[in-house]
Structure 1
Amino acid sequence: MKRLIVAAGGGGDAVAAAMLHAALYATDDEPALVLTYSWDRLIIDPVPGPRAPSDFTGLRQLAPHVRAVPGAATLKPPYGATLPRLAAELPHTFALIDPYAGAEGIARQLDELTIHFTPQTIDLLDVGGDILAHGDEPTLRSPLADALTLAACARARAAARIRLLVAGPGLDGELPADVLRPRLGPLISTFTPEHTQAITSVLTWHPSEATALLAATALGARGLCEVRDAGLPVPLTAEGPAIHQVDLAAAFSGNRLARAIADTTTLDGAEERCRAVCGSSEIDYERTKARRLSRQQPGRAVPHDLLARIKAFEQAALTRRATHTTVRRLAEALGLTGAALQHLAQLNAPRASHLPATVWKLQRR
């Protein structure tokens, strides 16, 4: 395969990899190989943390320590994941990052893929830019996944060939664009509406917020969007569709967490160092949230008064100066189950106009 794209932080970056391939490698006559985590939010996967190869059935071996996730792969109960459906709908090959062997294990996976497939290019892609965190930023919420892939790429034999790309600075709701701007390298491309066509069908159901906003800004959306369960405000600006290249070695040198976990051989070990550097890890947050959700009474996936509740949410969000939200934010704010995500996207599709169905434009009633 000509192109190897490493999705730095999870499912959303894997979706964005398809956009990147369309933007940079449109003349290729073959799809890309995308190395990615299977790490979904609790609204999709009720079990905290990333999925390991042993959590799946039907994986396909690509290299001694690398498995591909085909569209026919399934998850063992009680796990959930978006990756098999993503593989079924997109032409690219999706290989599973296994973080349970730490940064050293991911570096080994990269080495095996580069030796076996000898790709012409290797891109490490992060949507939002939290891969450029130093580790002490107060807005940083999910540093571990990106730091693991950054450390692995820095340790890989092909490190000198790996190009770090940051798309949509600030769109993940972690580091603001103003903080990221001095850390970015040159602008190498800008996503256009044409590039979003590669993932149009995926954005009718996939819960990734950052990648949905990346596509939305490429399609011209501007304003302020509330994301995540906390309702973080994310500006939608002309910078949204930008793709910047960043020096990999410099990013690794500036990321305290990536340096601290570079020699880890287990996910537990990486988590322990993440707590030491950042105060906690995103898996700790997921564990706490999962316990809270388990104590809640199960409700209806789609309540009878859904439209009235949506209207109330919209009016409250407008008073907070928001212009958009995401179906994931809306579902969590209304206390809905994961099954409601698709229903909300279907409700939104006729009113979304040219935007992804998972991006909800607020309307005054």
Structure 2
Amino acid sequence: MKRLIVAAGGGGDAVAAAMLYGALYAADDEPALILTYSWDRLIVDPVPGPRAPADFAGLRRLTPHVWAVPGTATPKPPHAATLPRLAAELPHAFALIDPYAGAAGITRQLDELAAHFTPDTIDLLDVGGDILAHGDEPTLRSPLADALTLAACARAEAAAGIRLLVAGPGLDGELPADTLRPRLGPVIATFTPDDVRAIAPVLDWHPSEATALLAATALGARGLCEVRDAGLPVPLTDEGPTVHHVDLQAAYAANRLARAVADTTTLDEAEERCRAICGTSEIDYERVKAQRLSGRQQATPVVPHDLPDQIRDFERAALTRGATHTTVRRLAEALNLPGEALIHLARLNTTHARRLPASVWELRAGKTVRRPDR
């Protein structure tokens, strides 16, 4: 195995890792190993927080503390996960980051993989750039996952050989591109439509927003996109498809949260330190939201009969806010639809003629939306 890519935040970062492989390592004669969290939003997984190895059936042990996730693996109810399907549809091998042993446990996983496979390169990839946070930025919404992987990589035995790469500055809706720009290093790649082609089928069903926007900007999308349940405005610019090399140790030194969680041995301990620095953790947010959603979505039909009218009303309002695009996840959250509706919304999306991912919805006044099949 020549390439080990660590998906800093899991989820969409794992999809972006496959795109990165195509852009940087297409000449290789073997796939990469992508080390990633299984941490899906509540619209997919009703259980807050990341998944542990015990939450799956059918994992395969790679090293004493690292488990591979094959395409045949299944999450144990009530958990849900996109990672097994990702492993089934992409040619790369996927291994599970287990944050329940804290940053120290992730460091141990990295050390075992590096010793076992002796890869030629190790890349830590983050889409959006919140891994470059200092910890006190008011726009931060999900700092813990990135802080844990940043700390683990910075303290790993192979740290000197690990490259920190940031793709799509600002596309995750957390730190604005203007804030990130002074913290970024040189551009080492700019994604192209050819790079997107390998992962395009995955984006028809995968709920990642940042990676979908990374692909969309590589395909030429420009404007302002609303994301997440809060409708955060994310500019789609020429910076969108770029990949920057950032000094790993400098990023770690500047990230208060990463330094604070570096010696943690449990996820609970890491959460406590996250609350002390940031006021809360993303898992706290998921817990509160899960309680709010419980019962409410059970009574919501997957495809309401008046869905086209609801979509048109949403589009009109979004256009008045200056948006040009949204994501199917944002649309589903805004219309209070359950996770099963994501695929239906992607099918309704008419942006395929523009070659954008099905999960990125182009807003147009008077856009025709087919009525759902009954």
TM-score, length of structure 1 as denominator length? 0.99
Q: Which residue of 1 aligns with 2:370?
A: none
Q: Which residue of 2 aligns with 1:18?
A: 18
In the alignment, is the contact (CA less than 8 A) between 2:226 and 2:326 conserved in 1?
A: yes
**Aligned pair 1:137/2:141, yes or no?**
no
Q: Where in structure 2 are the equivalents of 1:258-297 lying within 5 Å?
A: 258-296=258-296
Q: Which residue of 2 aligns with 1:178?
A: 178
In the alignment, is the contact (CA less than 8 A) between 1:352 and 1:359 conserved in 2?
A: no
**Aligned pair 1:166/2:163, yes or no?**
no
Q: Which amino acid aligns with 2:155?
A: R
Q: Over residues 170-191 of structure 1, what are the superposed CA-to-partner deviations in whole Å (9 max), with x where a residue is unaligned? A: 0000000000000001111100
Distance 2:3 2:305 in 1: 48
Q: Over residues 103-130 of structure 1, what are the superposed CA-to-partner deviations in whole Å (9 max), with x where a residue is unaligned? A: 0000000000000000000000000000
Q: Which residue of 2 aligns with 1:209?
A: 209
In the alignment, is the contact (CA less than 8 A) between 1:352 and 1:360 conserved in 2?
A: no
Q: Give the superposed CA RMSD.
A: 0.8
Q: Over residues 188-219 of structure 1, what are the superposed CA-to-partner deviations in whole Å (9 max), with x where a residue is unaligned? A: 11000100011011010000000000000000
Post-superposition offset of 1:300 = 0.3
**Aligned pair 1:101/2:101, yes or no?**
yes
In the alignment, is the contact (CA less than 8 A) between 2:351 and 2:361 conserved in 1?
A: no
In the alignment, is the contact (CA less than 8 A) between 2:351 and 2:362 conserved in 1?
A: no
Q: Which amino acid aligns with 1:331?
A: A
Distance 1:182 1:350 in 2: 34
Q: Over residues 155-182 of structure 1, what are the superposed CA-to-partner deviations in whole Å (9 max), with x where a residue is unaligned? A: 1000000000000000000000000000
Q: Where in structure 2 are the equivalents of 1:346-357 lying within 5 Å?
A: 346-349=347-350, 351=352, 353-357=354-358
Q: Which residue of 2 aligns with 1:62?
A: 62
Q: Which residue of 2 aligns with 1:254?
A: 254
Q: Which residue of 1 aligns with 2:369?
A: none
Q: Which amino acid aligns with 1:283?
A: I
**Aligned pair 1:344/2:345, yes or no?**
yes
Q: Which amino acid aligns with 1:130?
A: D
In the alignment, is the contact (CA less than 8 A) between 1:128 and 1:210 conserved in 2?
A: yes
Q: Percent identity?
A: 80
Specify every segment of 5 or more residues in structure 2 that has no aligned partner in the other structure, as ranges: 367-374
Distance 2:273 2:352 in 1: 46
Structure 1 runs of 4+ aligned residues shifted over 3 Å read: 349-352
In the alignment, is the contact (CA less than 8 A) between 1:227 and 1:328 conserved in 2?
A: yes
**Could you say what secondary structure the match of 1:185 adopts?**
coil
Distance 1:362 1:59 in 2: 41
Post-superposition offset of 1:296 = 1.8
Q: Which residue of 2 aligns with 1:363?
A: 364
In the alignment, is the contact (CA less than 8 A) between 2:328 and 2:342 conserved in 1?
A: yes
Post-superposition offset of 1:351 = 4.9
Distance 1:241 1:273 in 2: 33
In the alignment, is the contact (CA less than 8 A) between 1:147 and 1:257 conserved in 2?
A: yes
Which segment drifts farther, 346-355 or 167-176? 346-355
Give the direction of change, closer, same or farther, for the CA distance of 1:248–1:237 in structure 2 (3 Å limit).
same
Give the direction of change, closer, same or farther, for the CA distance of 1:216–1:350 in structure 2 (3 Å limit).
closer
Q: Over residues 49-85 of structure 1, what are the superposed CA-to-partner deviations in whole Å (9 max), with x where a residue is unaligned? A: 0000000000011111000000000011000000000
Post-superposition offset of 1:10 = 1.1
Distance 1:349 1:9 in 2: 30
Post-superposition offset of 1:349 = 4.8
**Could you say what secondary structure the match of 2:169 adopts?**
coil
Distance 2:351 2:234 in 1: 24
**Could you say what secondary structure the match of 1:22 adopts?**
helix
Q: Which residue of 2 aligns with 1:320?
A: 321
Specify every segment of 5 or more residues in structure 1 that has no aligned partner in the other structure, as ranges: none
Q: Which residue of 1 aligns with 2:115?
A: 115
Distance 1:51 1:81 in 2: 8
Distance 1:341 1:168 in 2: 23
Q: Over residues 268-310 of structure 1, what are the superposed CA-to-partner deviations in whole Å (9 max), with x where a residue is unaligned? A: 0000000001000000000000000014252101100000100
In the alignment, is the contact (CA less than 8 A) between 1:209 and 1:326 conserved in 2?
A: yes
In the alignment, is the contact (CA less than 8 A) between 1:352 and 1:361 conserved in 2?
A: no
Q: Which amino acid aligns with 2:308?
A: L
In the alignment, is the contact (CA less than 8 A) between 1:58 and 1:73 conserved in 2?
A: yes
Distance 2:50 2:355 in 1: 33
**Could you say what secondary structure the match of 2:126 adopts?**
strand
**Number of residue pairs aligned between Structure 1 and Structure 2:** 365
In the alignment, is the contact (CA less than 8 A) between 1:184 and 1:245 conserved in 2?
A: yes
Distance 1:216 1:278 in 2: 31
**Could you say what secondary structure the match of 1:199 adopts?**
coil
Give the direction of change, closer, same or farther, for the CA distance of 1:75–1:349 in structure 2 (3 Å limit).
farther
In the alignment, is the contact (CA less than 8 A) between 1:19 and 1:195 conserved in 2?
A: yes
Distance 1:323 1:350 in 2: 12
Distance 1:244 1:320 in 2: 31
Post-superposition offset of 1:352 = 5.2
Distance 2:318 2:87 in 1: 35
Q: Which amino acid aligns with 1:343?
A: H
Post-superposition offset of 1:336 = 0.2
Q: Which residue of 2 aligns with 1:307?
A: 308
Q: Which residue of 1 aligns with 2:371?
A: none
TM-score, length of structure 2 as denominator length? 0.97
Q: Which residue of 1 aligns with 2:336?
A: 335
Distance 1:286 1:255 in 2: 23
Distance 2:266 2:108 in 1: 13
